[in-house]
Structure 1
Amino acid sequence: MKGVEDPAVVRVLLADDHPVVREGLCAMLESDPAIEVVGQAGSGEEAVTLAERLVPDLVLLDLRMGAMDGVAATGHIRRRSPRTKVVIVTTYEDDADILRAVEAGAAGYLLKGSSRAELIDAVHGAARGATVLTPSLAPKLFRARAVEAPLLSGRECEVLRLVSQGLTNGEIGRQLFIGEATVKTHLLRAFKKLEVSDRTAAVITALERGLLG
């Protein structure tokens, strides 16, 4: 098994109610030897069950799959398997859908028209803790939030920039020569100003409002 032999391999669970789409995504991902598709789900409920059992690094999740949609499944997966990242991959570009997915804890939102290279880069980026978003969707997320941009301090912006690069609190502290507890304080203050509850949502909000330069 690749995932057993090499811990650097990103273990991915695919969830889409169309078998042809799942097979296409699987073929694209497994063209990269550093990605292993460990399971496939045909519904939101099945995705939640498999994510809890397999504990993949990442779930690529369709948005609309019947009784339990991708947003609801994202919330369940993040609560039951907090170490597993979720990236929504969909054909839908509705502003509200994007916002709901991010608020549910998704690490990113990609369109199914993304190229193989974009998809693979997104998988590796999300697995490292980075926020991934199809560039054309950022304005939609901004419109969905439609609130006045809060003023972040220079240090808060620095911390969020490093979060967007996938650095941990400890790594950020070492790079900025501050304690890990101080990094956490800056993040909590940024969360409050941005009216979000996690790192991914904070980075996406700050980026789409132009706060990180």
Structure 2
Amino acid sequence: MIVSPGLNPGSETGEWSPRENFDQVFDAHFAEIHRYIARRLDTHTADDLAAETFLVAFRERDRFDAARGGVRPWLYGIATNLLAKHRRSEVRRWKALSRTGARDLESHEDTVATRVSAEQLTGKLAGALAGLSRGDRDVVLLVALGGLAHAEVAAALGIPYGTVASRLNRARKHLRKALGDVNPLKEARDG
């Protein structure tokens, strides 16, 4: 078997092992992880948290277990755990948006970033997201913003595949009810 430089020879998916050539892991996934975080938070915080995600991954690279999933879900799991540290401010922000029903934030830069990253985030949706449990919200945002399949969400959060499906179903019902029977997530995406 011929293996490209930097690839983990045991990897069926062709992903790089974080144990070897971490720079290739960084190059392959940084923009995606940053984009996921930036959609949940502001761009400046995303810069810091994305960098911190890869710092944690680098420090923990010897503990990476390919049997538990690929590099991508592992990185999303680290990013999601770091995002949890910012949960209170995230929820406060969504509740504030919910109360105002407007996008006018403190600065023009924040307004532009919010419009670009949230694409039509309304006060109702922000309030509905704030009303979800942390576990349900993490699943929804990994699917909706990260574009992860159910199996990848399960690996990222360290939960069973069935739990992902049940949390997503519960969250969809909650969001649909809060938005007046409008489904904010595509039902067809089941990973």
TM-score, L = length of structure 2: 0.35
* More helix per residue: 2
Q: Report which structure shows greater RCO (CA 8 Å, sep ≥6).
A: 2
* More strand per residue: 1
